[in-house]
Structure 1
Amino acid sequence: MEFEDRVAAYAPKLKALQSKLAADGVEFIEIHTVDTSGAFRSKIAPLKLSSYGEAINAILYCVTHGDGQPMGDVAFASASANEENGFPNIKGIIDPATVVQHGWKPRFASAITRAYMLDGAVCPFDPRGVLAKVEERANALGYEARFALEYEFGIFHADHDLMRAGRYRELKPWGHSLINYDLVRSGEYQDFAAEFITRMKSIGIGVASLVTEYGFGMYEYALTPKTALQAADDAMRAKLHLRELCAERGLVATFMTRFQPPGKESACGAHHHVSLWRDGKPAFAAGPGRLTPVAEKFVAGVLNRMQETHLLFRPTVNSYRRFDRGAWSPEDVAWGFENRTAPIRAITTPNDGACRLEHRAPGADINPYLSIAAILVAGCEGIEKDLSLEAPVTSNLANLDKPKLPRTLNASIEAFAASDFCAEAFGEVFRDNYAESRRAEQAAFDAWQASHITDFEWQRYFVS
C-alpha cells in the first residue's frame, strides 16, 4: 500500500484515537521506529497522532550497533542515507493498531511507525515492512501464523562510571545464586516480576512467565502467542519496557547472547514458537508425536533455507559464542520431536491447541521482525513447493552427519548475501543493505582486535 493510500486508511482511526487518548489523560506520546539492528529509535512528543506522517531520518537504516562503540563508527555505507543523497528524511506513519496508553505511566502513550520513501513508495529498508509483506504471503495461503517469543537475558546492578568506561564485565549480577526456577534469588525479584507482568498486561502484551535461568544474573520471560507482526511488536516493546523497569530500580539489562565465557553457565537465546491456524483451528496438530502434512512441508521449508537465513538468527559477533549443541544451542540443520539439541523442536502435547514448532537458533540479539520473517517465509515456501520432510532425529546429533549451520558471522553474511531466495523474500535492496550492516559489524570487531594486544598474548609471550 502506497503512502497516500495508507494515510487515507489510517486517518479516521488516528483521529478517533487522538480524541480517546486525550480524554483518558494522555499528554505525551513515544513514537518508535525499528532500525536495521532491531532497536527502537524513539522520540517523545506532545500527544499528536498525525495522519500526514512522521519525519524519519533515513540514517536509522544504516546506524551501527550501539552507535559504533568502542570504534565510534556511527554509520555504515548504505543506499538509505549517504553523502550523495544528503542524508535525507523519509516518511513514517503511525500504525493505529500499535497505539497504546501505558498503564503504569498514564500520561504517556506509544506507537510504532511504518516507513515510506519521499515519493510515497514503501521503504525497502524498514524491517517492520519486510515482515508485513511476508505475513501477507502466509495469509494468501489461507493461514494465520502465530508466534510467541522467549527471551533469555541478564540483569546487573547499574554502575554508570563502570559502564561509561566500558568495564561491563565488572558489573555485579542481580541475585545471589545461579539456580534456575528460583523464587528467592533476590528479595526484590518477585515484586519485580509482578510489576513487569502488570505493566505488559496494561498495553496488551501477555507474559506467560518470568523465571530465573541457570547463571548469575540470568533470567527469562516468555510472551504469549500473537500474529506475526503483533508478536514482533510485542517482543520489541517487552524488551524496551524491561530495560526501562530495570533502570528505574538501579539495574541494567543486557540481551547480548553470551556475557559469561563459553562453557560457563547459560547463554541468551530467543526461542521462537510458531504455529499456523486455519478457520480457528491448529493446522499443525495431528496428535502426540505426529504432524499434519502442512506442518511437515512448513518444517521442510524452514530447514531448506536455514543456512541462507542463519544470519537473521545470529546477527552479531557475540552470537557465535553461543554455539553449543550440548547446551541446547543448535549447530545442525535438523529437527526432532521434543529435541532441544536440534534447531527445530516439534511440540505436540498436551493438546492440539499447544501443537507448535520451537525454533531454537535465534539469540536474544536478534531483530524479531527479521527472525520471524525468515521462519515464516521459508515455511511458506515449503508449503508452496510441496517439499518433503526428512525423518526426525532420534539419536545424538553429534554422531550424525547433518548439514552444519555457518559457524562464523562472515560465513553467515556470505550465505545470506548470495541468496536469491533472500532477495526475493525480503527484497534485493533490503538483502544487500542488511548484509552490509553485518559486514560493518565484522569489520569493527576486526579493527578493534587488530588494535589490541590480547591477554592471551601477554600471558603467553611476555616472559617466554
Structure 2
Amino acid sequence: MVTAPDPLAELEAQLRRRGVKRLAVTWVNHAGAVLVKVVPVGALASAVKLGVGFSPVSDAFRSDGAIDPQHRLARPDGDLRLRADPASLAPLEAASGWAWAAGTRHHRDGGLYDGDQRGFCSRQQHELAGAGLVLQAGFELEWMVVGGEEPGQDGPQPALAGGPYGADRLVEGLDYAAALTDACDAAGLPWQQLHPEYGRGQFELSLAPASPLQAADRLVLAKLLIQRVSRRFGWRCSFSPKPFAALVGNGGHVHLSVRQGGAALLQDGEGPGGLQPGGAAVVAGLLQHLPALLPLACNSAVSYRRLAPGSWSAPFQAWGIENREAAVRLVPAAADGAEAHLELKVADLTANPYLLLGALQAVVAESLTRPAGELAAAATALPEPVAGDPSVLEEEEAPRLPATLAEASQAFAASTLLRCALGEALHGSLLDAQQAEIRRAHNLSDDALLAASRWWPIVGGL
C-alpha cells in the first residue's frame, strides 16, 4: 500500500531547502501589538496541529505593554494554543533562516477561542461567502523613517531629505526603497506601489487586494518587513497616526470592493459614481456604522490627534467621489481596468487589521442580506456625495466623527450589530481595552502622548 504524502512534511522539506531554520508565529492583540512565539522548523507540524502556549492575559496589554489591572482578562490563570496557519507561511528573512506565519488561538481542547481576532475575521469571511458575497481588501501603509539627532536640531530627524512625493527623496533613499521592495518580493508579498508621501521622511506602500483574512495577514507581514529593513539601515520607523505635532500623520487606509453573485456592486450602475443599488446600500451602511467602527479603525488615543479638519485625514461622517476629505471615498472604475472600490480614509496602523476587516464584513453583510424592499430603501436613503471640503458644510451634511477615543468607544458600545458579530466575550474584552487606552492617555499632555506612541515597536521607545 502506498502511503499518502504528508503535506506538512513536504512543506518542512521545502523550507529546509530554502535555508529556513526558524518559524515566527504571530497574532495581533487588542492594542494592535504583534506578539510572537518562535519554533524550530522541525516543529512546523506541531505548531500547525497543536500550537504553542499563549496566555489570554495578552489581550489585557496596553499599547505600552503594561497589563491593565481593570481588564477582565488581567488574571494569571488559563492558557491558549496559538496555531500556525500554513496557508499564510512566508519567508521573513530567508537569508538568515527565518520564516513567518500568522496564528489563530484555540482552546486546549482544540476549539477556536471566541476572543481570537483572526478567528473573528475568518468567521465573517465564511459568513459572507455563504451569502454569495465576496469582499476584497487591501491596505495602504504610511510611515516615517527617522534617523539620529543632528547637531543644532531638536530631537530625532527624518532619515531622508526630499520634498512631498519628491523624486529627490526617492533618490536619496534609493538603496532603502530597493531593500524594502526586495524584501517584499522575497516574502511573496504582492505590492502595487511605493512612493515618498507628503510628510518629511514619509513613505507609502500599497498592497495588492486579497481576501480579508489574507489582506490582514499581509499587513502584519509588511509592518515587520518595514521594521526590519529600517533597522538594517540604522533607522527607526514610525507608524504612529501623529508622530510629531507639527508634522502630518500616518494613515493605514483600507480599500475594499464587493461582489454579489459575481457582479461588482460599485460600478456600472445608475447611482452616483456608477453605484448599483447594492453598492449604494453598502456605502449607506458604512456611513451609518462609521462612529461605532471608529475605535477599531483608530485604536489609540493618539489616533484622534490625527483626525483633525483640514489635515486630509477625513474626520467627517460623509462620502464622496474621489474626495480625500470624506471618510468613505469612492474610487470609480478606471481606464486601466481596475475595479471600482471604496477607501476607508480614517483608518490608521494602530488598528488590529483582523478586527477592522471582520467588522467591515459584518457591516457589508447587514447592508446586503436584507429584503429587497429594505435594500432599495437603504440605497435611496444614501445622501448625495460631498464635493469639496466637508468642514465648510453644515453639520447635517457632513457630521464630525467622534473627536476622542472615549466618544468613539461609546458608539462602539451602543452598536447592536458589532456586539452580535463579535460576540459578547470579544466585544466586552475590546471595550475593556478601549477604556484601558483612555486611562493610559488621560493624564498625558499632548507632547507626552505623541512621544509615548511615536515609535515602532511602541514598547521600548527610541
TM-score range, shorter chain: 0.7 to 0.9
Counterpart Cα distance in 1 of 2:419 and 2:439: 23
1:92 matches 2:82: yes
Return the match for 1:391 from 376, 384, 388.
384
Aligned-pair identity in percent equals: 26
| In 2: Cα distance, 1:422 partner to 1:281 partner | 27
What corresponds to 1:162 in structure 2? none
Equivalent position amino acid for 1:440 in 2: A
- The reply on whether 1:435 has 2:419 as its aligned counterpart is no
1:271 to 253, 263, 269: 253
Q: Which residue does the alignment assign to 1:284?
A: 266
Match of 2:62 in 1: 64
Match of 1:350?
Answer: 334
Deviation at 1:430, TM superposition (A): 0.9
Is the CA contact (8 Å cut-off) linking 1:30 and 1:45 kept in structure 2? Answer: yes
* Distance verdict in 2 for CA 1:315–1:343, change over 3 Å: same
Unmatched segments (≥5 aa) in structure 2: 449-462
Query: Which residue of 35, 40, 45 maps to 1:46?
Result: 40
1:422 maps to what in 2?
418
Q: Distance in 2 between matches of 1:173 and 1:353?
A: 34
Match of 1:253 among 234, 237, 248: 237
Aligned partners of 1:76, 1:375: CA distance in 2, in Å? Answer: 30
Q: Secondary structure at the match of 1:113?
A: strand
Cα distance, 1:90–1:103 mapped onto 2, change above 3 Å:
closer
- Distance in 2 (CA, whole Å) between partners of 1:292 and 1:12 is 47
* Paired position in structure 1 for 2:458: none
Contact kept in structure 2, 1:54 and 1:93, CA below 8 Å? yes
Per the alignment, residue 349 of structure 2 pairs with 364
- Answer whether contact 2:267 2:273 (CA < 8 A) is retained: no
1:173 to 139, 158, 168: 158
Q: Report the counterpart of residue 98 of structure 2 in structure 1.
A: 108
Q: Select the residue among 17, 28, 31 that pairs with 1:34.
A: 28
* Correspondence for 2:141: 151
Aligned match for 2:298, one of 296, 314, 319: 314
SS of the aligned residue for 1:226 comes to coil
- CA distance in structure 2 between the aligned counterparts of 1:318 and 1:294, rounded to whole angstroms: 35
Report if the CA contact (8 A) 2:18-2:94 is conserved.
Answer: no
Matched, 1:413 2:420: no
- Confirm or deny: 8 A CA contact 1:197 1:206 kept in the other structure: no
Counterpart amino acid of residue 381 in structure 1: E
In structure 2, relative to structure 1, the CA distance for the partners of 1:14 and 1:329 (3 Å cut) is same
**Are the counterparts in 2 of residues 100 and 109 from structure 1 also a CA contact under 8 Å?**
yes
Q: Are the aligned partners of 1:94 and 1:113 in contact in 2 as well (CA < 8 Å)? A: yes
Q: Deviations over 1:345-403 (max 9, x none)?
A: 11113145331011101123221112222222212211123232222223542213233
Q: Is the 8 A contact 2:68 2:74 kept in 1?
A: no
- In the alignment, the residues of structure 2 paired with residue 89 and residue 12 of structure 1 have an alpha-carbon distance, to the nearest angstrom, of 29
Give the conservation status (yes or no) of the 8 Å contact 2:160–2:172: no
Structure 1 gaps, min length 5: 1-10, 68-72, 160-167, 453-464
Deviations 1:267-308 (A, max 9, x none): 111111100235665332217931122211111111111111
* Aligned-pair CA distance for 1:81: 4.7
1:142 equivalent in alignment to 2:129: no
Task: Quote the Cα distance in structure 2 between the aligned partners of 1:224 and 1:192.
Answer: 21
Matches of 2:356 and 2:73, distance apart in 1: 22
What is the CA-CA distance between 1:125 and the residue it aligns to?
2.0
Shift of residue 434, structure 1, vs aligned partner? 0.9
Which residue is equivalent to 2:167? 183
CA RMSD of aligned residues (A): 2.4
Number of aligned pairs?
Answer: 422
Deviation at 1:204, TM superposition (A): 2.1
TM-score, normalised on structure 1? 0.85
Deviation at 1:20, TM superposition (A): 2.3
Q: Measured at CA, do residues 102 and 446 of structure 1 come closer, stay the same or move farther in structure 2, by a change above 3 Å?
A: closer
Question: How far apart are the structure 2 equivalents of 1:196 and 1:369?
Answer: 24
Q: Distance in 1 between matches of 2:368 and 2:302?
A: 34
Q: Which residue of 2 aligns with 1:199?
A: 183
Conserved? CA contact 1:258–1:319, under 8 Å: yes
Cα offset, 1:88, TM superposition: 2.6
Shift of 1:22: 2.4
- Cα 1:142/1:331, change in 2 over 3 Å: same
Is the deviation greater in 146-155 or in 188-197?
188-197
1:74 and 1:154 map into 2 onto residues whose CA distance is 28
Whole-angstrom distance in 2 between the partners of 1:265 and 1:329 = 13
Deviation at 1:120, TM superposition (A): 3.1
Aligned to 2:200: 216
State the match for 2:222 in structure 1: 238
Q: Following the alignment from structure 2 to structure 1, what is the Cα–Cα distance between the partners of residues 235 and 416?
A: 44
For residue 106 of structure 1, report the CA deviation from its aligned partner: 5.9
Structure 2 equivalent of residue 455 of structure 1: none
Q: In structure 2, how many angstroms separate the alpha carbons of the residues matched to 1:74 and 1:28?
A: 29
